[in-house]
Amino acid sequence: MSILVAELVPEAATLSYIRGPEVPLLEKTISQAFADTVARQPEREALVVRHQGLRFTWRELAREVDRTAMGLSGLGLQRGDRVGVWASNCAEWIFLQHACARLGLVLVNVNPAYRSHELSGVLLRSRIKALFLRERDARADYRSILEESRSGRRLPLQHVIWLGQESWERMRNAGAVLPPEAGDPHAVANIQYTSGTTSQPKGVLLTHHNLINNGLCIGLCLCAAAEDRICAPVPLYHCFGSVIASMVSVVSGAALILPSAQFDPEATLEAVQAERATALYGVPTMFIAELEHPRFREFDLTSLRTGVMAGAPCPIEVMKRVAGEMHCPEMTIAYGQTESSPVITMSRVDDSLELRVSTVGTALASTEVKIVSTETGETLPVGHQGELCTRGYLVMKGYDQDPETTSQAIDPEGWLHTGDLAIMQPDGYFRMRGRARETIIRGGENIYPREVEEFLHSHPKVADVYVVGLPDARLGETVLAWIKLRQGVTATEEEIRDFCRGRIAYFKIPRFIRFVDSFPMTVTNKVQKYLIREFEIRERGLAETARIATA
């Protein structure tokens, strides 16, 4: 694949607008693209899952996918039904992703960090009919969490299949017929949950067309080819794993390597060396963990060529170390969000180091990007800060069962408003400047303060609470809660955290808690969260951390 560079539109050269080069988009389903790659290179290695001791050629992977598809059909699932996968990285996740695409089922990614409060909400809203999960792992007892989430609730869930157990093999062996392939590229293939200004996570509806073409365009930036071997320690439930890793593999024919169930820096380094990986993925915290691992110097990483760093602001110094110390001179930065399938802008492998450490790249192929005023909505001149918007094949179909919120995110002209603040340079590359919304990004995980606030409000001692993000040198950001207790009661920080454990995902639990009597307010009684953040940065000595340069 060749590198395609976005070009500034001449008549709009003074405005913050750019259109990526037009490429022939794939009018195929994920399953059709998968079948094409299988036919093209059946004996090449497709998937390596090191912690399970499994490896498959494309022909062998297709056989596993067909068996899984027959099993799903045998459950009585029909086109358009929702199938949930609540699991860490494993071979079965990939089988299910492609089997669902083959049958026209909608794959619902369920975060393994979800606990009963979150799981019950997703099961209800998504209308999942079949859920695939493991009974337990080192992090959680999923059976008990599922039982608690179903307790006293009427859910659409009809089938629970336990991965790695008899029920999984029984399901796959029961299917006798492989139904005709679902053939609509513009049908919804995937639902990924993301929160926002509301307290409830929203289901992002992503089509085959969205996902397979985002994989195509990312692969063009990486110059991905069948000879490449992608080491992806990123989670498959997240768009980083299920799209940037899996879809790039499908379109380019590159092998996909899963080093461990959850991120493990040593297992990742071992996988790069043993499998001769040419590309390495991760959020900045993963690369930091690998660079700082005590055995880092023992591993031969010279097979690496490229990769993707995304999911959180990238510290410039980390990018420089990855390019040099990890022998990854063509490492790229990608920016996007779930609603955009996910990547909007990306650097190219032949960009200068300066561009790759100081920007989030330029528009992907067949993608429009502009910067607009947050007040007027007008496109701003180059060099002016505003909200980044995008349009093209990558924009989601909408939020599941939520046309009102969809219309707030996607305007009548088809522009997706990201809520992120950025500046477009004269060369068409973008620098991020923060978020117009309040999203906290902790180690690549999106945390939405309103969701955490509403959960903490359910604590019997909490009268009011506001959550903000604080800068963190390792994770990018971490969670702070200011809590006003009910009159006449006392509480400790650990008591609040104990209330959260097992009920909300670990990454949402506040690292810092301050009990207060009041909050900084405007004259119209709106809380001034930026003043809370500024106060805590001063009090906790985080000024230097807040100044860490990121792309």
53-80 pLDDT per residue, tens: 999 999 999 999 999 999 999 999 999 9
DSSP string for residues in 423-462: EE-TTS-EEEEEESS--EEETTEEE-HHHHHHHHTTSTTE
Shared-domain flag, residues 377 and 275:
yes
31 with 95: CB under 8 angstroms?
A: no
Any domain includes 362: yes
Final residue in a domain of this structure, among 184, 199, 233: 184
Residue 316: give the domain boundaries.
Answer: 1-5+15-28+208-435
Any domain includes 551: no
Mean pLDDT score, 240-261: 98
Shared-domain flag, residues 243 and 354:
yes
Final residue in a domain of this structure, among 435, 461, 477: 435
Q: pLDDT at residue 438 above 90? A: no
Bridge pairing between strands 202-207 and 229-231? unpaired
- Identify the H or E element spanning 514: strand 512-515
Task: Identify which has the larger pLDDT, 502 or 525.
Answer: 502
Q: pLDDT at residue 480 above 80? A: yes
By mean pLDDT, which of 18-22, 199-203, 336-340 is the weakest? 199-203
Name which of 207, 206, 260, 210 is nearest 231 in CA terms.
Answer: 260
Q: pLDDT at residue 264 above 90? A: yes
Shared-domain flag, residues 155 and 283:
no
Mean pLDDT score, 474-484: 95
- At 333, list the tokens: 């930065």
Any domain includes 34: no
CA distance 485 to 466: 12
Any domain includes 197: no
Cβ neighbours, 10 Å, residue 461: 14
Angle at 123 between CA 232 and CA 450, to 5 degrees: 80
Q: pLDDT at residue 447 above 60? A: yes
Q: pLDDT at residue 30 above 50? A: yes
Q: Which residues of 239-266 are buried (b: 16+ CB within 10 A; e: fewer)?
A: bbbbbbbbbbbbbbbbbbbbbbbebbbb
Q: E-strand spans in 168-248?
A: 188-194, 202-207, 229-231
* Domain count within the chain: 3
Confidence of residue 495 (pLDDT cuts 50, 70, 90): very high
What is the identity of the amino acid at 27? E
Final residue in a domain of this structure, among 373, 402, 435: 435
CATH code at position 430: 3.40.50.12780
CA distance 420 to 397: 20
Mean pLDDT score, 167-176: 91
Any domain includes 512: yes
Q: pLDDT at residue 439 above 90? A: no
CATH code at position 493: 3.30.300.30
Mean pLDDT score, 171-186: 88
Q: pLDDT at residue 197 above 50? A: no
Shared-domain flag, residues 242 and 124:
no
Shared-domain flag, residues 293 and 244:
yes
- pLDDT at residue 198, rounded to an integer: 42
Confidence of residue 524 (pLDDT cuts 50, 70, 90): very low
Q: pLDDT at residue 456 above 60? A: yes
DSSP string for residues in 15-81: BSEEEPPP-----S-HHHHHHHHHHH-TTSEEEEEGGGTEEEEHHHHHHHHHHHHHHHHHTT--TT-
Any domain includes 456: yes
Q: pLDDT at residue 402 above 70? A: yes
- pLDDT at residue 384, rounded to an integer: 95
| Summary mean pLDDT of the chain | 93
Shared-domain flag, residues 453 and 386:
no
Shared-domain flag, residues 131 and 102:
yes
By mean pLDDT, which of 91-95, 357-361, 478-482 is the weakest? 357-361
Any domain includes 50: no
Confidence of residue 3 (pLDDT cuts 50, 70, 90): low
Q: In this predicted model, what pLDDT tens digit does every residue of 345-394 receive, in sequence order?
A: 999 999 998 898 889 999 999 999 999 998 899 999 999 999 999 999 99
Confidence of residue 176 (pLDDT cuts 50, 70, 90): confident
- pLDDT at residue 435, rounded to an integer: 66
Q: pLDDT at residue 12 above 80? A: no
Any domain includes 194: no
Shared-domain flag, residues 423 and 449:
no
- pLDDT at residue 549, rounded to an integer: 62
Shared-domain flag, residues 116 and 224:
no
- pLDDT at residue 551, rounded to an integer: 63
- pLDDT at residue 13, rounded to an integer: 62
Q: What percent of the chain has pLDDT over 90?
A: 80
Shared-domain flag, residues 293 and 429:
yes
Torsion sign, CA atoms 334, 337, 134, 286: positive
- pLDDT at residue 527, rounded to an integer: 82
By mean pLDDT, which of 3-12, 113-122, 147-156, 453-462 is the weakest? 3-12
- At 126, list the tokens: 């998504």
Confidence of residue 434 (pLDDT cuts 50, 70, 90): low
Mean pLDDT score, 158-183: 92
Shared-domain flag, residues 157 and 86:
yes
Shared-domain flag, residues 399 and 530:
no
